Structure 1
């Protein structure tokens, strides 16, 4: 059975090599018919190979006379190298022989065999982008505007998968009650480190989607960085809130919970499919204060004429902050994307600002680590718009024990066990 698991991983990684994208549906379809042991092996092999791509290629290239080998052979070599270097549970002979079986061409079988057998003779690299397996251009780019210790911290934590995090629905249960129900299902969870209603799943019993806490609306799966965002919006029951890029609805429903489900929350997104995700989320949590509307956030005032006390612009972005769960994003983006997204984000903020009441708060957030999409978007907006006050959120971040960088316009959260890089800027409309 183990060989079949390797073959399934090989097929998925070959598809990734072509597209630099891994479909979660593809992963789930494979996992659905594997037992626990094979699931763990498959997940570690696939995500490990993607996460360590630069490092694995460097090791392999040290032993190749010609670096230009077919992508299918390169993928097989990465898989074998990962098992040899990082999977202690796999005997060396199995890592080599089972990888060789994946290759069809006899000449390339010999090459793969020879490279893998000599792999352990290669000394470790010294360059930090290789040690932490990041594209060199991204590391150099981060160094252009972040302190060295911040760059190292991001690279280091990107090697560690993010644990599953839950947000307890405070209107339906306490953290203690949810922990108890999870324990009955064989899942071990402990209170989170930063967000008030967060739990860290230490050991999974039943799959999360089958858990009573999810199906009965007692909790939602949501990362701790995302959970913290609504706490900076100065929410209270009875407010009118606009969420401009709401799908899949994690922050929308968190806002409703913090407002005791009292007030009006308008959740908008660009398609029926996205809006249905928000509606499904709200229904599961039994929240009645959320209304939905299909609208393009870049042309928001054409769709929405009401005004609001609070506006959230959790903007689409290059998503570099999600690399712990989506390591492929590091290989998919390019520098042109930073500018492209920043123009979209600025238009969204400009549109949303027109719908904000005087004295109201707009929160702008992204899950990326670029100057163009974070600092520069807010800086340009503040420069153009004269009725903006930037709220300093450093003290509040300290209350949540979150470390990061304040740039005068917003705060970049730096990662730890449960935090991923997230940028938050809080703007008040003066007058």
Structure 2
């Protein structure tokens, strides 16, 4: 691979914003990719993937390069040189790469890779927490899997097409996909591609949604004609899946505390041809209380640490703080206590997170079931999805039923 100066400069500019100014990596990369209309697909892929790579391995590369935060541009070029050397890319004769100790870089990599928190490039506190909650053997495998680049997975919108028809249409555009056993509406891209530019996406034939995330709506056991409440709907990835499973029959009430996310959900629902979704912004507890005992199904896709989705959000490792993980557990329990009251007698509730920590998952369910609010519910089943076993995001989901 030959390095191009303008592409490398874009990566350095992006890393400056992410590491030194706290900007979100996905937003920074979106902006970078708009820089030069002449860039082709390979140029854009280089900028996106290299930026994500250096964000993912920040701690390891900084240790090898012997630089400390806040990183000035020279520091970032040294980290870039580490990335290129470890990838086997020949460094060009540029000022930034003068006196790069190629052999020393490889030696330091071998030496530091013996220490898990450095090899996997994570903060000390996170490494300790992961081992404490999952045990040494499982955590070692899980954090390695969470550092792999995520596949691009599509969820076929069955309101508008079938898996076979979409697969054939994408094939005609040189986008090849594989069917995933046990994921009824999923297609996996064989090679990364900008699927958002396709007519199929613009016409609402699919959404991009990880395979593990697709399990949640299925877990909810929805049927056409039901009244379903998605309590933390956000921009509606799971809401739209529920709508397709309900064949547009019945009612879905999508709630969220952020009105701007619900606006995005409305836009996506229109594109998807999902007509049975009503959005309600949670501006006070009245919105929740009006729905007490009214829903056949309630989904609580709870706010969480997001540790299960580090593959697609590698900068979360550096933004996440121990006190946030503690605070979010209290929020999760409060939401469970309050939102569970929307389930009518005989109805069902799914509690889900994109975390792999038992303290955010099964322990929250145990606490709820032994509480006053939870005594009317029985545990039906749960699914602990670990990235190193599934090959997809880490997720948790538990199905509860309100007793007769």
| Fold shared, TM-score > 0.5 on shorter chain | yes
Counterpart among 26, 50, 53 of residue 45 in structure 1: 50
1:35/1:213 CA distance change after superposition, 3 Å: same
Match of 1:9 among 2, 7, 11: 11
Distance 1:209 1:68 in 2: 35
What's the TM-score, normalizing by structure 2?
Answer: 0.90
CA contact (8 A) 1:20 1:331 kept: no
RMSD: 2.4
8 Å Cα contact 1:188/1:204 also seen in 2:
no
Q: Distance in 1 between matches of 2:96 and 2:57?
A: 20
**Corresponding residue for residue 392 of structure 1:** 381
| Superposed CA offset, 1:363-419 (max 9, x none) | 1111123343223322221111211211124xxx6xxxxxxxxxxxxx344445642
Distance in 2 of aligned mates of 1:210 and 1:173: 18
Matched with 2:174 is 186
Deviation at 1:141, TM superposition (A): 1.0
SS in 1 for 2:359: coil
> Aligned-pair distance for 1:156?
1.8
Equivalent residue number for residue 334 of structure 1: 321
Distance 1:183 1:215 in 2: 17
Distance 1:236 1:35, change over 3 A: same
Alignment-derived partner of residue 115 in structure 2? 127
CA 317–303 in structure 1, closer or farther in 2 if over 3 Å, else same: farther
Structure 1 segments of 4+ aligned residues over 6 angstroms from their partners:
none
Rounded Cα–Cα distance in structure 1 between residues aligned with 2:283 and 2:311: 29
Q: 1:412 to 1:36 in 2, by over 3 A?
A: closer
Deviation at 1:303, TM superposition (A): 5.9
Cα distance, 1:99 vs structure 2: 6.7
1:422 equivalenced with 2:381 (yes/no): no
Are the equivalent residues in 1 in contact too, given 2:243–2:252 (CA < 8 A)?
yes
Does 2:129 align with 1:141?
yes
Question: 1: distance between equivalents of 2:176 and 2:94?
Answer: 35
**Distance change (3 Å), C-alpha of 1:298 and 1:185:** farther
How many residue pairs were aligned?
A: 395
Match of 1:26 among 25, 28, 44: 28
TM-score by length of 1: 0.85
Deviation at 1:26, TM superposition (A): 2.6
The secondary structure found in structure 2 opposite 1:372 is helix
Specify every segment of 5 or more residues in structure 2 that has no aligned partner in the other structure, as ranges.
none
Specify whether residues 416 and 248 from structure 1 end up closer, same or farther in structure 2 by C-alpha distance, changes over 3 A only.
farther
Change in CA separation of 1:55 and 1:265 when aligned onto 2, cut-off 3 Å: same
Residue 74 of structure 1 corresponds to 75
Q: Give the CA deviation at 1:20.
A: 4.2
Indicate if the aligned counterparts of 2:346 and 2:401 stay in contact, CA closer than 8 A.
Answer: yes
Unaligned 5+ residue runs, structure 1? 102-109, 398-410
Distance 1:278 1:415, change over 3 A: farther
Deviations 1:38-72 (A, max 9, x none): 222212321111111122122223xx7xx688543
Q: Secondary structure at the match of 1:391?
A: strand
Change (3 A) 1:273 1:220: same
- Render the CA deviation track for 1:191-234: whole Å, top value 9, x for unaligned: 124311100011255x3122122122211111111111011112
Q: Distance in 1 between matches of 2:107 and 2:388?
A: 34
